[in-house]
Amino acid sequence: MKHYIFADESNTDKSRFMLIGGIWVDEITYQQVVEECKQFKRLNNWDENTKFNWKYISKKTLPQYCKFIDIFFKYNLQFNCIIIDRKEINLKAENNDPELGFYKFYYQLLRHNSKIGIPYYIYLDRRNNREPTRLDVLKEFLKRDTHPIDWFGFRTTDQGRNVKALEFVNSETYNLIQLSDLLLGAIGYHYNKKHLQPEASPHKSSFADYISKKINKPDLAFHTGKKGYKNLNLWLFQSNKKFLIK
């Protein structure tokens, strides 16, 4: 069965914590969610291609945004996210190339949360790159077998992932990227303590709090390691070493 990944990034400006994350979903569930999203927009007098986006949350849109994110929880979708602490990680560490550093974290997220042997179709929200071959290189490394040495000195084989497609797409036509965008925005809002700032949007704060209550957490500034918490996996990447694709 096909599996899809719909991913996006958030807080890529000067915020302390940068996030990359997405929704992992099987083909059958995906079709059900797509139809549910279309029906939701029709019933609420939204155009089918209306883009739900974190930055558009306002007093007027907040109730509908909360109902829209309910679709994520209704289908118990799996959200995986890697959180990069800029005080600890220097994206320029590799060849003074922050764009390369960014995609190495995309690699970590996709590789560690995907299973061997499953065909994946991966769609990322479109972004401008200095190097046009970034996705080609990312796909190559995801598909490549690696041979790490374990703690006991034995060489093991980590099989590559079966990536059928890896593409940039327009998020206006992909509701699951929009859901990812909203989750990333809310998590980043709490991680970067933007809800505590004097100019904080009360409506964005309310939306982030709404998600927190859905998972019985006081806020979204928590981390889970690789096991995840219910259907949210918030992996706070921590390393004192230069990170590598491996």
> pLDDT by residue (tens digit) across 94-114?
557 888 889 999 999 999 999
* pLDDT confidence of residue 154: 75
pLDDT below 50 — which residues of the chain? 243-246
| Residue-level length of the chain | 246
Contacts of 36 (CB under 8 A, 6+ apart): 71, 74, 75
* pLDDT confidence of residue 46: 87
Amino acid letter for position 176: L
DSSP symbols for 207-243: HHHHHHHHTT-S-S----TTT-BTTEEEEEE--SS--
Quick check: 208 and 189 in contact, CB under 8 A? yes
* pLDDT confidence of residue 245: 40
Quick check: 222 and 105 in contact, CB under 8 A? no
* pLDDT confidence of residue 47: 85
CA nearest neighbour of 184 among 110, 83, 106, 65: 83
Fold adopted by 3-237:
Nucleotidyltransferase; domain 5 (3.30.420)
* pLDDT confidence of residue 45: 87
* pLDDT confidence of residue 97: 82
